[in-house]
Structure 1
């Protein structure tokens, strides 16, 4: 079943065409990597899928319903977007990990927090740390954990392991692989050709704002 349909998407800024007639049909359970040179439009495409910026022309559908007819809050709960440069807020790490529960007006699930910290190779003591004392890799893993406190329908990842060493990048990849097997649809922008072949069933190459090719990997 198709979960996301991108139909004739154009995105322009000051007459500069960033995306040019993008068409993608995403099946539920797909694990798609998006590759291409810097500035080709990869991150812009993810932001459009996350309903963070408005398209200049075209349509995008979630489960057959046009984004224009969807409640933005519902979209952002079902389609989770991890940005490349993680932004943590407040003073302590715990504030970030309890946030998904607070905005849903639900009790903080400390067992879920502990489980994700362990899965992402982070000690529970990090919860009391000042966010400004964290390394780039710790911030990145905390940001991913924050996005995954509630498992989304679609997970959008923008270079989300770029600050991680090989071991921790693999830890994150394995978790993403596991939730994909459970049905989560994944769209992952990566600069790494090796990563783009690792856990994915499709790879989309973007060049100068257009789709250059779509490949089945497995």
Structure 2
């Protein structure tokens, strides 16, 4: 079943064409690696997927409803974006990890938080750590934990392991694969060739703002 659909979507900024006439059906449960040269429009494509930016032309639908018709906050609970440069806020790690509960008016689930710390092989002492004291790799993992506190329908990942060492990259890859196996659809921008074909069932290649190919890697 198609969960996200681009129909003749183009995006321009300051008169410059970034993406041109994209047509793609993303199926529920897909794990799509997105590759292509720098400047080919990969990050722009992800931002269109959860309406961080709006298309200049064409339509994007999520669960058969135009993406612009959704409340942006509610949409981004279901289509979650994790940036290449992590954006943490507040003073402490806990300020970030409690945020997904607050916007859903739910009580903070410490068991869930501790479970994610164990998945990421991070010490629970980080919960009280000040954001300013974190390394780039630690910030990225905390940002991922915040995004995964509630499993989204679609997870958008933009070069999220670029600041991680090989050990932590492997941990993140395994976590994302597990999330996908549990039902979340994954769209992952990566420059790592090995990573792009490791778990993905499809490989989307963008060049010069256009879809060069959508290759099926694994048949479900």
The answer to whether the superposition gives a TM-score over 0.5 is yes
Alignment of 1:1-218 (within 5 A): 1-218=1-218
| Structure 2 Cα separation of the partners of residues 69 and 101 of structure 1 | 24
Q: CA deviation at 1:23?
A: 1.1
Q: CA deviation at 1:71?
A: 2.1
Following the alignment from structure 1 to structure 2, what is the Cα–Cα distance between the partners of residues 48 and 64? 16
Structure 2: state its 5+ residue gaps.
Answer: none
Distance between the aligned counterparts of 1:57 and 1:128, measured in 2?
46
TM value normalised by structure 2: 0.97
Q: Structure 1 CA distance, aligned partners of 2:207 and 2:2? A: 25
Q: d(CA) in 2 for partners of 1:203 and 1:82?
A: 19
- CA distance in structure 1 between the partners assigned to 2:35 and 2:68 by the alignment: 28
Per-residue displacement from partner, 1:80-130 (whole Å, max 9, x unpaired)? 100110011111111100010011111100000000011011100001111
Q: Separation in 2 of the partners of 1:52 and 1:17?
A: 17
SS in 2 for 1:59: strand
How far the C-alpha of 1:57 sits from its partner, in A, is 0.3
Q: Give the Cα–Cα distance (whole angstroms) in 1 for the partners of residues 69 and 131 of structure 2.
A: 37
User: How many aligned positions are there?
Assistant: 218
Q: For the aligned residues, what is the CA RMSD? A: 0.8
Counterpart of 2:139 in 1: which secondary structure?
helix
Q: Distance in 1 between matches of 2:57 and 2:23?
A: 12
- Please, which runs of 5 or more residues in structure 1 have no aligned partner? none
Q: Distance in 1 between matches of 2:168 and 2:50?
A: 26
Determine helix, strand or coil for the equivalent of 1:144.
helix
The CA deviation at 1:73 is 2.1
Does structure 1 conserve the Cα–Cα contact (< 8 Å) formed by 2:153 and 2:185?
yes
| Distance in 1 of aligned mates of 2:73 and 2:143 | 19
